[in-house]
């Protein structure tokens, strides 16, 4: 009886999900589901059909929630895929270092010399006739106990873009 109850509950969940998917398909275009979302439902349906064809298991505490132990703790955590992809590694590279002037490497507040603490770098494509080059702009960073200063890079035609002026031209 417990197995029958679990299967009927799972079947009701699938029916509700199918009803919601069909309703959302009929709604306004901005509220419609994508094909990828429908594919997720298809995978759940196929898994349910495969489980229905499998021989019945004996009742045990592990049978209460079939999806609870699916990961088993053996898989690696998902990787973050955000951000921009790095520029092509096979291209010729040139490094341009922007530094503070010697007069700016002194803190006016505490009268100490600033010490280097790192650098910020960004890359852009530049077109040199018959070749494509990656230019890495490096801005040096300096700090003391009270102040942090970073050299500024020259302005670009498109801020935060990867195309330089020669490539756009």
Reply yes or no on whether the pLDDT at 101 is more than 50: yes
Across the range 2-26, mean pLDDT stands at 87
Structure tokens at 76: 């690696």
* Residues forming beta bridges with residue 141, ordered by sequence position: 118, 150
Structure tokens at 44: 């759940």
Across the range 34-45, mean pLDDT stands at 68
Residue 89, pLDDT score: 85
Reply yes or no on whether the pLDDT at 45 is more than 80: no
- For the chain, the average pLDDT equals 77
How many Cβ atoms sit within 10 Å of the Cβ of residue 114? 19
Rounded-to-integer distance, Cα 58 and Cα 140, Å: 67
pLDDT one-digit tens code per residue, 109-160:
888 888 888 888 888 888 877 778 888 888 889 888 888 888 888 888 888 8
Rounded-to-integer distance, Cα 151 and Cα 8, Å: 67
DSSP character at residue 75: S
Across the range 6-14, mean pLDDT stands at 92
């Amino acid at each position: 009886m417990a197995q029958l109850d679990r299967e009927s509950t799972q079947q009701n969940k699938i029916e509700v999900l199918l009803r919601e998917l069909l309703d959302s398909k009929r709604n306004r275009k901005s509220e419609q589901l994508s094909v990828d979302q429908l594919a997720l439902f298809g995978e759940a349906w196929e898994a349910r059909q495969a489980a229905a064809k499998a021989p019945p298991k004996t009742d045990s505490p592990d049978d209460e929630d079939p999806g609870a132990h699916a990961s088993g703790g053996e898989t690696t955590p998902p990787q973050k895929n955000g951000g921009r992809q790095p520029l092509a590694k096979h291209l010729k590279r040139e490094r341009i270092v922007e530094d503070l002037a010697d007069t700016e490497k002194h803190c006016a507040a505490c009268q100490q010399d600033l010490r280097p603490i790192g650098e910020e770098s960004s890359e852009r494509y530049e077109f040199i006739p018959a070749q494509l080059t990656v230019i890495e702009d490096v801005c040096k960073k300096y700090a003391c106990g009270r102040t942090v200063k970073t050299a500024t890079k020259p302005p670009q035609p498109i801020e935060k873009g990867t195309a330089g002026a020669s490539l756009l031209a």
